[in-house]
Each structure stands twice: as structure tokens, then as C-alpha cells.
Amino acid sequence: MTELVLGLSAYYHDSAAALVADGVPVAAAQEERFSRRRHDPSFPRQAVEYCLNEGGIALGDLSAVAYYEDPALKFRRVMATFAGAAPHALPAFQDSFPGWLRWKRRAADAVRDELARGGRAVPPVVALRHHESHAASAFHPSPFPAAAVLCIDGVGEWATTTLWHGRDTELRQLAELRFPHSLGLLYSAFTYFCGFKVDSGEYKLMGLAPYGTPRFAPLIRERLIDIKPDGTFRLDVRHFEYLRGRVMTGRAFEELFGGPRRQPEGPLTEREFDLAASVQQVTEDVVVRLARTARELTGESRLCMAGGVALNCVANGKVVEQAGIDELWVQPAAGDAGGALGAALAVAHGRGAPRSHLTDSHDADGAALPRPRPKSHRDATSGADGAALPRPRPKSARDAMSGALLGPEYSDDRIATCLDRLGAPYTRLEPDTLAREVAAALADGKIVGWFQGRMEFGPRALGSRSILADPRDPGMQSALNLRTKFRESFRPFAPAVLAEDAKDYFDLRQDSPYMLLVSRVSAAQRLDHEVPAGTSGLDLLRVARSTVPAVTHIDGTARVQTVGPAHPHLRRLLLAFKERTNCPVLINTSFNVRGEPIVNTPDDAYTCFMRTNIDALAIGGFLLLKEAQPVWEEKGDWRARIPVD
């Protein structure tokens, strides 16, 4: 009999649902893709219905529902934080305490109540710990039978960094760092101070870093973070405001870094470039040291990662280069949305790490990584309540994420119905013909919306809901940012490259199917170039550094996606583009505009196509050209209705 578990993340950031059958992911999606509200934190009702429909099941067919964190434990941490920061935290306490008192500390009960609407019977609801969910999402779908597992984020209940050992279907926690000492919150503090939005602007800070020099890094190490050789660290919390609840930084940061924080949408200055470069360098140092420690404590040469900091693909690239591991696998939905999948996987595999294995030898403030107790892995064969775990299921040599293609798919018949309703002229083509036509358009400098197959789970578009363009065009980076995505001009774009050709273009030591590794562009593709005297900041964008300048960042690196059989639609197109141009690389960016979630439905795709300067839309088996479409009319300014991210 198939064991079915539904995992949920909800109420705080990026709600999601995921369905697991016999320990294998079947469906997963973020609520934002359905509600069209960026990082939607509400109960993921539409994502739940999608997962049940995709599995062809009813709620009553589930063995369990798994919630991605322990709300009671989180409530205790929030209350302890407010108490420790009194009286300064009183305004924030008054804002948030009523919600915690009414329902947040019983979020798992709220999940049960939501699912029971309409009189439905609800299976048992199990609350996991936040980092347990992250660890399970990292290890269980990975292709490794055994690995070290490192989870780094802002904060869950108390944990901010955890280290685990995974073997077969077992996960055992070895060590933990606790709030308020958090690498994720350190990075978010600089995100906020540089004028970007916390929990969404961290990508921007990472992209900004190569424009600056890390001149503040010594000051950060001296005044903000004490880093030990094993990667453990302590923050000087006197310089941060997040303990008081409303903002990340205040006067102490301003005095340390020469003035007030940059206002959102204000001009970027050399200070912001250098702050980004500095905190990025410090972050890379900590992550690499922690990865080395993970290898030493587990004896494993393979590493899995999850948590929001695992989306820092530049740091991931440094781990591959410097941490002494043989192979890295990062959960493509490494943030809180991926916690839904991890919670389901943890329950399917016997809850992951039994609570009896958790070390409790923390310093008073939880800042030190404890020495692991000598425990046999065989100790982990029973759950927290003593129940036997499921028999180990064989692990495949391939990861179980199906290329992260776990979201909805729309048939050509359904797409045609949508296009006909919209009065949109189109041409229906066979797959190979469609690929050749789109490749020709791309080679002619056209920008193409690409809507094919199942939607991706996680923050990256991997070739199902993508905007594609020719990376050889030196003007394409600015054109896409300013006239298509309507976002900051400095944001870099990622290359999608045929896996077998990747090493001809990039200095990769391993495949990067989820666009989560940064590497240097290979020497064979680099161009001799001279930066004019006095050129700095965003002016550096105008200097072509390689044969694929639109995906080469100003430091000569790229965030690479290697495309193999898991992404057949994009692979077919890359082969056609290579045949036409002798270049196996395309720009691949998410099919959305700034402040909007990635498109989900055919209606979403057509709307984004018509609102922007995308020249053509390849949606299912149909090709639409912009010049053939009827005039697009909307009431009011649609961009004013989308919140700035």
C-alpha cells in the first residue's frame, strides 16, 4: 500500500505544499504561484488542492500531514527574545503578541482546522522542527546514499545552523548553532542596510558584491562577528536591531558604516557596492569553514545543503572549490517553501533525527557547536515515540527532485482553449519544429517567453517558466533588466548550457542542474579586455569579458545551469540553438517581472508576454509572435499594482 504524506509550510514566508509517495516527491508548489502574491505567507490552500489533484487522491488517503516547524517551540523563542530585549522591544511585542496568543503558537492546529473545512476528515498532523525539515529536504532527495548535511538560514525555532549525518534513510543531528547568532540574519541586516527588502533582496546584494571591494570585511570581523576556525561564530548583537523586532539595523550600524542606510530605490553608491562585497566575503568564509567541519565530523566526502543561505550560489561555488568535498547537492527549494517537502520526507522516512539524539551541550546563548556524542547510526532505527522506522528504501543514483519539475502542467488542449478565449493568434508546431523556429528567433536577437511542461518548485526558473535570449549579445543584459524585467540594471543573468558542453564554457567541477553554483567562465571563452581608467560601479557593465557577455558577471563568473535529460524541452531548444549558432548557451531568467511571482498558468504567461517587450511566446506546442497579437489594453498602470520587491 502506498504511503502518502502531505507537507506544508505556512503563515510566515513563502507558503507551500508538497506530496510525497513512498518517500518520493510527487508534487510541490508555492502558494504565490496561484495567488499571484509574492512570497504569499497564507495557508497554501490552492497548492494543497494542486498536490492532491496531481496525486489523484483525497485528503483522507493521506497517512499524515507534516508541518515544517514546531510552533510551540518557536513561540517560546519569540517570547524569550522579547523578554530579553525589554523595554526596547515593547512596540514590536504589542504588534505581534496578539497573533501569537490567538493562533500562531498553535499553527499546527490552524493547519488542521484549515484542512477540515467543508467537513473533511483530516489525517494526523505532525509538527517537525524547522531545521529537521530543511535537513530532510536536502538529504532524502539527493543522489547520495550517505552524506554530510549542512543547514544554514535566518532562524527556525532556535536553530540557525545545524549539521547532520545522513545514511540510507536515516538522519542524525550532530551539532547546532542557536539564535541570535545567525549567518542568515547577518546577511539580511546588510540587505536591509543597503536598501533592499529582507527575505527577497538578498539575491540583489549577492549580485551587487562584484561591483565593490571588501574594504569593510575586517571591520565586520572585528565588530560584528567572531569566526572560529571550525566555522562557528558569535555575533555582537549590540549592533543589530532584529532582537527588538521591527527593523534589522539602527544607529550602531550607521555609526559603524558611515551614515544612514540607503533608502529603497535610492541611488547606489560605492559604499553599498563595498558593503555587499564585504559581507559576501565574510559569508563565504563561514560557509566554507562549516562545510569543512561537516566533512571532518561525518567522515563523508559528499555534502548536501538547505536553508536560505544555501541559495547563495557564490558561496556554494566556493564550497566546491575550497572545502575539500567531492560533490555538493543543494536542495533547489532551499528556503522555507522547501521545508514543506522536507517535512513530508522526514515523516515518510520516520521523522529523520529522533529527538533523543539531539545534543544539548550548548553555551548559555547557544553560540558554540557542541562536540557530537558518540552514537551509532543504528541508534536511529526508531522514532521519537519508539516506533519502528519504515524499511530503508533503495536510493537511486539520480536525485529524486525530477529536475525540480514538480508543479502544474497544462495540456495543449487547455492552452489552446485559453489562447482562443483571449483572441490570440498562434501557430501550432511539432516539438522539433518549434525548437528550430525559436532558436532562429533567438539568434536574430529576439526575446522569447518559454512555457513548457511542469512548473519548477523553488525560486529558480529552470526552463519551464523562463524568459530566454541570446547570451552573445553584449546589450542583452541591460535590455532584459530594464525593458523586460523592469528591475535594476546591475542584476546578472544566468546561462543555461548543455551539460556535455559546460566545461567548454565554464570552470565547473561538477554538474549544476539547479542553477545553484557560480563558477568562472573558462579561459577559452574569455576576451582580452581593458577597463577604461576611472570606470567603476555600474559603468563596469559596459565592458565585454567573454564570448557570452550577457551571462558573464563583471568578475568573470556566471551562475550556471547545466541542462541534461531531466529538462527535455529546454534541452531540445539548446541543441537547436547550438546547431544554428555553434553556441550551446542561452540566457535563462524567470518568466515574470519585478515584484511578481513566476508565471503559472497560460493566462499568466500571455499577460506577462503582452505587458513586456518579449518578442515571441512558445507555450506548449504553440508559437505566438508579438506583432501578430491584438492591442493589449488594461485599466490603469499595472506596474503600480505590483509591490516592489
pLDDT at 161 (0 to 100): 98
Segment 442-474, tens digit of pLDDT: 999 999 999 999 999 999 999 999 999 999 998
User: Residue 416 falls within a domain, yes or no?
Assistant: yes
Closest CA to 491 of 445, 554, 414: 554
Note the pLDDT of residue 472.
96
Residue 381 is predicted with a pLDDT of 31
pLDDT value for 244? 74
Distance CA 250, CA 241 (A): 6
600 lies in some domain: yes
Task: Give me 238's grid cell.
Answer: 549590540
Does residue 342 form part of some domain? no
Q: How confident is the model at residue 430 (pLDDT cuts 50, 70, 90)?
A: very high
User: Pairing between strand 24-30 and 64-67?
Assistant: unpaired
The burial of 625, by beta-carbon neighbours within 10 Å (0-12 exposed, 13-18 middle, 19 or more buried), is given as middle
Q: Is the pLDDT of residue 610 over 60?
A: yes
- For residue 440, pLDDT over 50 is answered with yes
Instruction: For residue 265, give its domain range.
Output: 183-285
> Which one of 285, 313, 345 terminates a domain?
285
pLDDT at 361 > cutoff 70: no
Confidence of residue 491 (pLDDT cuts 50, 70, 90): confident
Per-residue pLDDT, 276: 98
φ, ψ (nearest 5 deg) of residue 574: -60, -40
Boundary (domain end) residue, out of 285, 303, 318: 285
Would you say residue 398 lies in a domain?
A: no
Helix, strand or coil, per DSSP, at residue 152: strand
Residue 460 and residue 595 in one domain: yes
Tens of pLDDT along 203-223? Answer: 999 999 999 999 999 999 999
- Residue pair 279/220 in contact (Cβ under 8 Å)? The answer is yes
> For 119-154, how does the pLDDT look when each residue is reduced to its tens digit (9 = 90+)?
898 999 999 999 999 999 999 999 999 999 999 999
Same domain as 567, residue 422: yes
Q: Is the peptide bond before 513 cis (omega within 30 degrees of 0)?
A: no
User: What local confidence, expressed as pLDDT, does residue 96 receive?
Assistant: 63
User: Which of the listed ranges 73-77, 390-394, 480-484, 514-518 does the model predict with the highest average pLDDT?
Assistant: 514-518
Continuous segment of H or E residues that includes residue 604? helix 602-611
Asked if residue 355 belongs to a domain, the reply is no
48: amino acid identity, one letter: V
pLDDT at 62 over 70: yes
Beta strands (DSSP E) in 49-158 are: 64-67, 125-127, 146-152
CB 370 within 8 A of CB 175: yes
Q: Answer with the one of 251, 285, 319 that is the final residue of a domain.
A: 285
CA angle, 185 as apex, 590 and 303 as ends, to 5°?
A: 70
* Residue 386 within any structural domain of the chain: no
The reply to whether 631 falls in a domain is: yes
In whole angstroms, what is the distance from residue 566 CA to residue 563 CA?
Answer: 8
Which of helix, strand or coil describes residue 355?
A: helix
Task: Assess whether 620 and 478 both reside in one domain.
Answer: yes
- Supply φ then ψ for residue 150, to 5 degrees: -125, 125
pLDDT tens for residues 541-575? 777 889 999 999 999 999 999 999 999 999 999 99
How many structural domains compose the chain? Answer: 2
Q: What is the pLDDT at residue 531? A: 73
The values of phi and psi at residue 389, to 5°, are -75, 160
CA 21 – CA 27 distance, rounded (Å): 9
Q: What is the CATH number of the domain that holds 438?
A: 3.90.870.20
Q: What is the model's pLDDT at position 355?
A: 34
pLDDT score of 371 more than 50: no
The number of beta carbons lying within 10 Å of the beta carbon of residue 263 is 8
| Euclidean distance between CA atoms 505 and 489, whole angstroms | 24
With cut-offs at 50, 70 and 90, classify the pLDDT of residue 628: very high
Q: Is 444 helix (H, G, I), strand (E, B) or coil?
A: coil
- In b/e form, how buried is each residue of 311-334, taking b as 16+ CB within 10 angstroms? bbbbbbbbbbbebebebbbbbbbb
Question: Cell 519539475 appears where?
Answer: 405
Residue 288 identity (one-letter amino acid): V
Q: Are 182 and 337 in contact (CB under 8 A)?
A: no
Q: What is the pLDDT of residue 386?
A: 35
> Is the separation of the CB atoms in 211 and 490 below 8 Å?
yes
Does 224 fall in a domain? yes
Q: Judge whether residue 376 has pLDDT over 50.
A: no
Kindly indicate the confidence band of residue 35, based on its pLDDT and cuts at 50, 70 and 90.
very high
Say what percent of the chain tops pLDDT 70: 88
Given a contact cutoff of 8 angstroms between Cβ atoms, the answer to whether 27 and 56 are in contact is no
CA distance 330 to 314: 13
Q: What gap in Å lies between CA 446 and CA 442, rounded to an integer?
A: 5
- Tell whether the model's pLDDT for residue 389 goes beyond 70: no
The residue written with cell numbers 508538497 in the block is 18
Nine-digit cell string for 282: 565574510
More confident residue, 369 or 115: 115
User: Cα(624)–Cα(448) distance, rounded to whole angstroms?
Assistant: 10
Integer angstrom CA distances of residue 604 from 468, 579, 607: 17, 31, 5
Local structure of 329: helix, strand or coil: strand
C-alpha of 522 from chain center: 26
Identify which has the larger pLDDT, 485 or 470: 470
Q: Do 602 and 454 have their domain in common? A: yes
How do residues 337-354 score in pLDDT, each as one tens digit? 999 999 999 999 987 333
Mean pLDDT estimate for the chain: 89
Q: Give one DSSP letter per residue of 81-104, joined into a string.
A: HHHHHTTTTHHHHHHHHHHHHHTG
